[in-house]
Amino acid sequence: MSAADIHLTEADAHAATALQHHFDNMEQQREAGALGMWVFLLTEIMFFGGLFTGYVIYRMYNAASFAAGSHHLNVRLGALNTVVLICSSLTMALAVYYAQTGSRRNQIIFIILTMILGATFLVVKAFEYADKFEHHLFPGLGFQWTEHLPPGATVHGVQMFYWIYFAMTGLHALHMIIGLGIMAFLLYFAWRGRYTPEYHAPVEISGLYWHFVDIVWIFLFPLLYLLGAHLH
């Protein structure tokens, strides 16, 4: 207890323990945290952006193959996952709301709900991946394509689609797993009553991250799942 002690007299005791020594006040600390997350999300956009660029270019080269590869994906599961993630964004937003209004019980409920929805997403994804492995659709490891190839499509092109599919959804799933880790962390501190109307920045900035990961999926779903809709 050192630098924080000085502030103890001038600020609410609860907030003071949360104030790090190098910030002047809670406002500054919250602002820094939120801006930090926004900057981090910019980095994330560029990170996914590289793959999106790869997607755009290779889809231009292999439009028919991409449609064929996409046709094989399970649109129903993809749509289900989209709904699940949108719901999880809602529960996350509510968790932030209850952190702001100071309801510990509701905070915990909605963080748990968010985690359940996130886990549901990953389980569905795992089933989808298992199906792809079963059908030898993992690029590089004995990739096989036994289905019909529409005119202009090539097996190489379909493999090209599948590595992009795995790279993008894999990277997204990794972000989901990290997100679940963050949620577990929030849950622990929410349980201990750490987040109050005065101090709830971690819930807010984790919320930003969670929404970002959801938004990435909103882009991934049509780009990956809906290309082959016209192939019947």
Partner 1 sequence: MSAADTPLNPMNPAAPAGAGAPPAAAPEFRARFAHKNYLNAHYGIMSWLLTKDHKRIALLYLGSITLFFVVGGAYAIAIRLELLTPAGDLVQPQTYNKLFTQHGIIMIFFFLIPSIPAVLGNFLVPLMIGAKDLAFPRINLLSWYIYLVGGVITIWALLNGGLDTGWTFYVPYSTNFSNSYVVVAGVGLFITGFSSILTGLNFIVTIHTMRAPGMTWFRLPLFIWANYATSLIMILGTPVIAITLLLVAMERVLHIGIFDPRLGGDPVLFQHFFWFYSHPAVYIMILPGMGVVSEVISTHSRKNIFGYSFVAFSSLAIAVFGFLVWGHHLFTSSQSVYAGMIFSLISFAVAIPSAVKVFNWTATLYKGSISYSTPMLYALSFIGLFTMGGLTGLFLAALGMDVHLTDTYFIVAHFHYIMVGGALSAYMAGLHNWWPKITGRMYPEGWGRFAALVLFVGFNLTFFPQFLLGYMGMPRRYHAYAADEPLWQVLNVMSSAGASVLALGMLIPAIYLLWSMRYGAFAPPNPWPATGLEWRTLSPPPTENFATTPIVTWEAYEYRPVEEMEVIGAGDVRPVQPMGGTISTSDS
Partner 2 sequence: MQIPLPKIDLPRIPFTPEQASTLAGHVDALYLYLVAITLFFTVLVVVLIFYFSVRYRRITPDEIPRPNAGALPLEVMWTIIPLLIAMTIFVWGASLFFALYRPPTDAIEIFVVGKQWMWKFQHTEGQREINELHVPLGAKVKLTMTTEDVIHSFAVPAFRVRSDVVPGRYTYVWFQATKTGRFHLFCTEYCGTNHSGMIGYVEVLEPADYQAWLAGGTSESPAAQGERLFQSLGCASCHRMDAQGRGPMLTGVFGKTQKMTNGQDVLADEAYVRESILNPQAKIVLGFGSVQMPSFQGQVTEEQLLNLIAYVRSLAAPQQGGTAGAGQAQGGTVTTAAPAAGSTTTTGVQPDTQRSNPVGATSPRRVVPPGRTTPSGGGGARPPR
Give the footprint of partner 2 on this chain (CB under 8 A): 63-64, 149, 151-154, 156-157
CB of 159 to partner 2, least distance (A): 13
Q: Which does 151 bind (CB under 5 to 8 A by kind): partner 2, partner 1, none?
A: partner 2
Residue 56 binding partner 1, by CB under 8 A: no
End-to-end Cα distance, the chain: 69
User: Could you tell me the smallest distance in angstroms from the CB atom of residue 152 to partner 2?
Assistant: 6
Site track for partner 1 across 28-47, x = CB under 8 A:
x--xx--xx--xx-xxx-xx
Extract the tokens encoding 117: 């929805």
For residue 169, the one-letter residue type is T
- Return the number of the residue (60 or 105) whose C-beta is nearest partner 1: 60
Q: Which stretch binds partner 1 (CB under 8 A): 76-84, 113-121, 154-162, 215-223?
A: 154-162
**Residues 178-207, interacting with partner 1 (CB under 8 A):** 189, 194, 202
The least distance separating partner 2 from the CB of residue 154, rounded to whole angstroms, comes to 5
For residue 69, the tally of other CB atoms under 10 A from its CB is 25
d(CA 115, CA 178): 11
Distance, CA of 215 to CA of 82 (rounded, Å): 10
3-state secondary structure of 42: helix
Output the smallest distance, CB 54 to partner 1, in A. Answer: 7
Residue partners of 136: CB distance under 8 A and separation at least 6: 142, 143, 144
17-35 b/e (C-beta count within 10 Å ≥ 16 → b): ebbeeebeebeebbeebee
| Residue 219 interacts with partner 1 (CB under 8 A): yes or no | no
DSSP 150: P
Beta carbons within 8 Å of 134's beta carbon, 6+ residues apart:
none
Q: Which does 13 bind (CB under 5 to 8 A by kind): partner 1, partner 2, none?
A: none
Q: What is the Cα–Cα distance from 145 to 160, expressed in whole angstroms?
A: 12
Mask 73-102, x = binds partner 1 (CB under 8 A)? Answer: ------------------------------
- The overall longest dimension of the chain from CA atoms, in Å, is 76
The binding site for partner 1 (CB under 8 A) comprises 1-4, 17-24, 28, 31-32, 35-36, 39-40, 42-44, 46-47, 49-51, 53-54, 57-58, 61-62, 139-141, 143, 154, 156-157, 159-160, 163, 167, 189, 194, 202
